Amino acid sequence: MSDVTTLEILGSTALITVDNPPVNAASAAVRQGLVNRIDEANSNDAVDVIAIIGAGRTFTAGADIREFGKTPVEPMLTEVCSHIEASAKPVIAVLHGTTLGGGLEIALGCHARIGVPTVQLGFPEVSLGIIPGAGGTQRAPRLSGMGAAAEYIASGRRLSSDEALAKGLLDAIADGEPRAIALDQAERVRQGDLATRRVGELDASLDPDAITAARAAVAKRAPLLVAPQRCIDAVADSTLELSAGLARERELFAECMATDQHKGLVHAFFAERAVQKIPEASETPRPIESLGVVGGGTMGSGIATSALFAGLPVTLVEMNADGLDRARTAIAGNLAGAVKRGKLSQDKHDAILASALTFSTDLADLAESDLVIEAVFEDMDVKKDIFAKLDTLCKPTALLASNTSYLDINVIAACTNRPTQVLGLHFFSPAHIMRLLEVVVGDQTAPDVVATGFALGKRLRKVAVRAGVCDGFIGNRILGHFRKVADYMMLDGAHYSQIDAALEDFGFAMGPFAVSDLAGLDIGWATRKRLAATKPAAERDVGVSDRICENGWFGRKTQRGFYDYRSGKKAANPDVDAILEAERQAAGITPAAFENSDIVDRYMTAMIAEATRVIEDGIALRPVDVDTVFLFGYGFPRQRGGPLHYADTLGAAALVARMERWAEEDAHYWQVPALLRKMAADGSTFADLNRA
């Protein structure tokens, strides 16, 4: 602990520095060190003011993630904060960087808080399915009021220095280095210019209207989540005497810790880090300082925008001037939207348009690009032609990538004389917003090229996941399977709007039929036609989507699909019911009633079954890779951790029993994966495979 906390006596100021790189996490050593340093400062007669600062880039960014899931080590952070607050000598904190969660709770235990102008404060605990557990829900309302505290604690959002000052979390804002600020503000305390007090001794004013409003806001924003409501419960109890309020906070914290939502959110948190561990991680990535994009449609424009955000110069090639005009308009709109949202400065926006973006109708203008990403429509012959041309036009060291969603990277690579330098980079639409990037590794893709794909993903602020080659890779292969069961249930009697509603109640932002409308029904139609020749004879045929497409209804883009959007609002398309009834009659099906729970069970079990086969086939390295794909690319409810984490909550034996029961209806579709049957027999889990 002497390494992570230090004490200097500078005149009559005791300066405590937390130095626990990279983010000064409040580890057990830091916690014990703070207690000891406070005691040492209080016992020094020369000291009259104590100041706490953080070394490096932040004060303290909160809990130490290395302690997650382990037996708690004393002193607990609650005790540390109370110990600081009980100090006989005034304690001030100088906050910089990201002072979050437990770091902010430490600061609230101090008697005054000074922030640098760029500091960000907040309680992100709800993102892990818990509430602040070291006094944050009790001290913050005493400074900000119940309404404000309930809002920023339950949302987990970050506050700027100005907002934190206005809400009472900061007592002052000062520019400069934390060390110099600490010494200056300690003198202000001595001169009486900076007031100090124990926050826990302040009264919190009861505000039932604010609490009611906060509950309503959470119910609208996150109706399925437990932790935000428990945050409000704890804030509402801040009128209690501090010790009683802290005890209540710990009860609510423990309740949240025991939920599946907390476990799912923690799994999701670590999943983003786990997928970075790939066989090629030790390889040195190749330098990528310029990017070419072939195709200026929705995907190509989005990929180009994402690269421009990351500071990469982009050359975009389209077939003709009209295509370039559409791409130019799309990218300009993306950049303008980023400025409006505060994600891009006006100066950077102007610089990008002035010099970082080049348009062309000639593939030869990609000759000097370090990496060229093809993003044209899903036609193998077109892609093969483009790659053959790029192979002759691009410099020998250039990497060539396809944004294909389904097609065989090995076939594409075989059209070139550089198959080791070809890979898939499957972005998700809209590419400048969606975080998932599937890095698809061909049979001959060189290890350092794989590492380069991951390095690019990091530069573009994407979550990269390694995928093997098969039709649809990880995500779309699984989607192609479980989406069928939604069609089967629709044909067998569940209305498509009921299926959507049941899955939205489960936690998906949109149900599968609404998603199909949004993506464009013609995309699935094209895929079904492409795969028609290889469709097994035993597979059920559901022609509803095809009949809808034959009418020219492709979803939102044409204002009609499963739903009708012509009024400006989504409503069930009554003409689809007639199509559905005709398809049922043709198939000789008498519709049956479905419970919402049965809809969810079938949909999720089908997803888990194909995800298991993806693991069996080595397309994904680990179950957590599948979970990450669905969390970041397919809107899987984060609190459920991903399909295979969710599978562990059900148990392999229960899943096998379901599939065996439903196989009596459809033996072709409900085939039990061998891996899942093995897990049911030996009691193992997908989590075990992740650890292995």
| Per-domain boundaries in the chain | 5-258, 291-473, 476-691
End-to-end CA distance of the chain: 33
**Low-confidence residues in the chain, pLDDT < 50:** 1
324 and 318 Cβ atoms separated by less than 8 Å: yes
Place of tokens 């070419």: 292
Residues contacting 386, CB < 8 A, separation 6+? 294, 363, 374, 376
Residue 1: what pLDDT? Answer: 47
Which amino acid is located at 439 in the chain?
V
Retrieve residue 43's tokens: 């016992």
pLDDT in tens, 454-492: 999 999 999 999 999 999 999 999 999 999 999 999 999
pLDDT in tens, 316-330: 999 999 999 999 999
Residue 354: what pLDDT? Answer: 85
Q: For residues 638 and 224, what is the distance between their CA atoms, to the nearest angstrom?
A: 11
Eight-class DSSP state of 223: T
Which amino acid is located at 246 in the chain?
L
Residue 281: how many CB atoms within 10 A of its CB? 12
Rg over alpha carbons for the chain, rounded to the nearest Å, is: 28
Residue 2: what pLDDT? Answer: 55
66 and 21 Cβ atoms separated by less than 8 Å: no
Which amino acid is located at 269 in the chain?
F
Query: Which residue is catalytic, options 85, 125, 151, 438?
Result: 125
Topology of domain 291-473 in CATH is Rossmann fold (3.40.50)
Q: For residues 241 and 254, what is the distance between their CA atoms, to the nearest angstrom?
A: 20
Side by side, the strands of the sheet bearing 98-100 are 98-100, 120-122, 158-159
Place of tokens 């939207």: 337
Q: Is residue 401 classed as helix, strand or coil in its secondary structure?
A: strand
Q: For residues 378 and 407, what is the distance between their CA atoms, to the nearest angstrom?
A: 8
**CATH superfamily for domain 5-258:** 2-enoyl-CoA Hydratase; Chain A, domain 1 (3.90.226.10)
Q: For residues 322 and 296, what is the distance between their CA atoms, to the nearest angstrom?
A: 10
Retrieve residue 551's tokens: 């009418």
629 and 474 Cβ atoms separated by less than 8 Å: yes
pLDDT in tens, 104-132: 999 999 999 999 999 999 999 999 999 99
Q: For residues 601 and 430, what is the distance between their CA atoms, to the nearest angstrom?
A: 30
CATH architecture for residues 476-691: Orthogonal Bundle (1.10)
Burial of 237 (0-12, 13-18, 19+ CB in 10 A): buried
Place of tokens 């404060």: 121
Known catalytic residue: 504?
no
Query: Which residue is catalytic, options 79, 85, 105, 318?
Result: 105
Residue 321: what pLDDT? Answer: 93
Known catalytic residue: 125?
yes
